[in-house]
């Protein structure tokens, strides 16, 4: 897979990124089937396979249960070979989510993520939106805190996993990377992608396979073709803990390019 520019960040990412929700959390998720969290050997195997297949981009979050600690322990190869995207704002504990977008919580979360991931920098940190994108960006301390962390060199880029068009457009103005939803059934955030493409900002797509609610291999192929027909896409983040699915997804990517 040929790497793509992540907007103007100077980072280059594989067009297929690996989502890691399923590495550490199986409660309050929207997948079609219940699943067991994979053991260390299975997580190591999927990370090694991803690396072998040319994937360098990992999407994770403190809200993904134990995913970050596991990546910290199990990530193969040199740290610099990976582009790690983490998040701030959502807290998942005792089976439920809560949110804190304060300045202090943002700093404390990034410091904890650095410890969990056993690294001294994060490539990108996204605000994990609760839905009130504009309110979070305008009224909370998180945006300033991320700018400070970038100035201090602890994070290389910042952005938001946004949920609204107005929020996504503001992210494109103020930040380096936007993570937006797009798939065969939902394209409301297209204006965000268009604006990001024109502004040379990084665009990560989440839920491109409708969180697994797709029909067979043809559904995966149609979904991926659709996502990569959209403007500005740097990478599509697909969550999987199944090595065969990972191989299929990379094969489809390769046949498209």
What residues act catalytically?
64
| Cα distance between residue 143 and residue 101, in whole Å | 9
Task: Identify the H or E element spanning 191.
Answer: helix 190-199
Angle at 47 between CA 42 and CA 48, to 5 degrees: 95
Q: How far is the CB of 14 from ligand NAP (least distance, A)?
A: 14
238 binds ligand NAP (CB under 6 A): yes
Q: How far is the CB of 207 from ligand NAP (least distance, A)?
A: 4
Q: Which of 53, 170, 206, 235 binds ligand NAP (CB under 6 A)?
A: 206
Place of tokens 């969990």: 116
Question: In this structure, are residues 170 and 132 in contact, taking their beta carbons and an 8 Å threshold?
Answer: no
Question: In this structure, are residues 127 and 105 in contact, taking their beta carbons and an 8 Å threshold?
Answer: no
Site residues for ligand NAP, window 172-191 (CB under 6 A)? 179
Q: Which of 7, 19, 24, 202 binds ligand NAP (CB under 6 A)?
A: 19
70 binds ligand NAP (CB under 6 A): no
Q: Which of 15, 159, 212, 232 binds ligand NAP (CB under 6 A)?
A: 212
Q: For residue 245, which of 87, 27, 55 has the smallest C-alpha distance?
A: 55
Q: Which residues contact ligand NAP by CB under 6 A?
A: 19-22, 31, 59, 128, 161, 179, 206-212, 220, 237-242, 245, 248-249
């Amino acid at each position: 897979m040929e790497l793509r520019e992540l907007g103007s960040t100077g980072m280059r990412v594989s067009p297929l990124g690996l989502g890691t929700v399923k590495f550490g959390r199986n409660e309050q998720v929207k997948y079609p089937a219940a699943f067991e969290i994979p053991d260390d050997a299975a997580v190591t195997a999927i990370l090694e396979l991803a690396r072998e297949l040319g994937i360098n981009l990992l999407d994770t979050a403190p809200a993904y249960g134990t995913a970050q600690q596991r990546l910290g322990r199990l990530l193969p190869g040199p740290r610099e070979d990976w582009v790690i995207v983490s998040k701030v704002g959502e807290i998942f504990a005792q089976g439920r989510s809560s949110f804190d977008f304060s300045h202090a919580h943002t700093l404390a979360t990034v410091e904890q993520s650095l410890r969990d991931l056993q690294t001294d920098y994060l490539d990108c940190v996204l605000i994990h939106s609760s839905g009130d994108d504009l309110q979070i960006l305008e009224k909370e301390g998180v945006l300033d805190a991320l700018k400070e962390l970038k100035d201090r060199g602890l994070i290389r880029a910042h952005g938001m996993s946004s949920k609204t068009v107005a929020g996504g457009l503001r992210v494109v103005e103020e930040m380096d990377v936007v993570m937006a939803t797009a798939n065969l059934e939902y394209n409301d955030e297209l204006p965000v992608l268009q604006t990001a493409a024109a502004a040379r900002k990084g665009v990560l797509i989440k839920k491109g396979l409708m969180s697994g609610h797709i029909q067979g291999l043809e559904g995966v192929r149609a979904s991926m073709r659709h996502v990569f027909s959209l403007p500005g896409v740097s990478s599509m983040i697909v969550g999987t803990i199944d090595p065969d699915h990972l191989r299929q997804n990379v094969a489809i990517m390769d046949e498209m390019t």
